Amino acid sequence: MPLNASKRLKNRVIGGLKTTRGGPTTRRRRPAQDQRGPPLQFHPRRDTSEAIESSSKNCVPLSHSPLHAFFLRVYHSSRAIFLRTFGLPFADFLKFLLPSTQPQMSLNGFGEHTRAASHAGSWYNGNQRDLDRQLTKWLDNAGERFGTARALISPHAGYSYCGETAAYAFKQIVPSTVDRIFILGPSHVVALNGCAITTCSKYRTPLGDLTVDHKLNEELRATRHFDLMDRRDEEAEHSIEMQLPFIAKVMGSRRYTIVPVLVGSLPGSRQQTYGNIFAHYMEDPRNLFVISSDFCHWGDRFSFSPYDRNSNLPIYEQITNLDKQGMSAIETLNPTVFNDYLKKTQNTICGRNPILIMLQAAEHFRLSNNHTHEFKFLHYTQSNKVRSPADSSVSYASGVLFVHPN
């Protein structure tokens, strides 16, 4: 076998992971709560031995008498005392005067970084004009506005699959009523216990950059229930990014901030913990919540393919019924009802935890305020009409939470 061919065989790629001698290898990731910031810059040490040797040839040798040794010790001791006393304050003074070339970081790890639109050009159109035209068409075809959205559920697949469905939810946003947008998306890239917030200052889209609300991030961080996203995982994750072009399009040139929140597993009572935290912000009518979630992932590749062989309904209609039961559970705005549905059906709704946070927050808000809540699903579709057990599909649904004062 040729040498190059054997190298290719030895280091082949399987499922996106590089393998060596047939065994998969994975890179070791830093913890999601890592706050170390950008890596330190290391420079090779310059060899000064030649310079020292050449300069010493021109020097007059000093006497090595005991008196000389005494004065030398005094000199070095005095210099050390001086540097300890005045050196560090002087260095801090210079640091204050001179602009730093490194990104400025706060004590909580938030810095001047921009998250790239890493899925532009693949999951959605990366050209500003073409993307704007596409979003305009979907929003225009999304029907009438029924009210003022306080929260919405939107899918996060490629726009060619779910863009039309997502537009129905974003059509319910009234831009003049929104100052801040929370975006809660499930983590597909890294295992996460609880929630994490970004250290970036902006999120880039083809339609312009969105500004992160660092002041509110500081508030969330102070609760001690939020980790910080690892930047590599943040760039790879798509659930939050897929909401951003729609947000930029609908909000236009208005001034507003975003609060991206990556949601992992929520064991025990953590659903209520986060629900209580976000209920405080849901009470403010100037805040909007965008919940990122697809619905049923059906097929062998998702390890989820239940269906009734004896039913006269094709498989895709059975999937529809399964999803519609979940949508009805969400529309009750009762987190217990939705939790029971998930336990009973095991439906692969990837954004179930962000949805549960929204339901817990709405429940807490409803109990402490004289308001009537209504959640309404507006559109539903599937990536493929499954008719054979060998097929697969992903479902997409968009819905909106309306709050009506009594």
Q: What would the pLDDT profile of 13-41 be if each residue is shown by its tens digit?
A: 333 333 333 333 333 343 333 333 333 33
Specify the pTM: 0.74
The CATH architecture one would assign to domain 114-405 is 3-Layer(aba) Sandwich (3.40)
**pLDDT tens digits along 292-330:** 999 999 999 999 999 999 999 999 999 999 999 999 999
**Beta strands in 188-246, from DSSP E residues, in sequence order:** 195-197, 202-203, 210-211, 226-228
DSSP-assigned letter for residue 243: G
CA 24 to chain centre: 27
pLDDT in tens, 78-116: 655 665 566 555 545 544 454 443 444 444 455 679 999
Q: How far apart are CA 52 and CA 58, in angstroms?
A: 10
Q: Residue 221 carries which side chain, given as an amino acid letter?
A: R
Residue 362 to residue 157: CA distance in whole angstroms: 26
Does residue 68 have a pLDDT over 80? no
Which 3 state secondary structure label does DSSP give 184? strand
pLDDT tens-digit profile of 242-278? 999 999 999 999 999 999 999 999 987 899 999 999 9
Dihedral sign computed on CA atoms, order 24, 27, 28, 32: negative
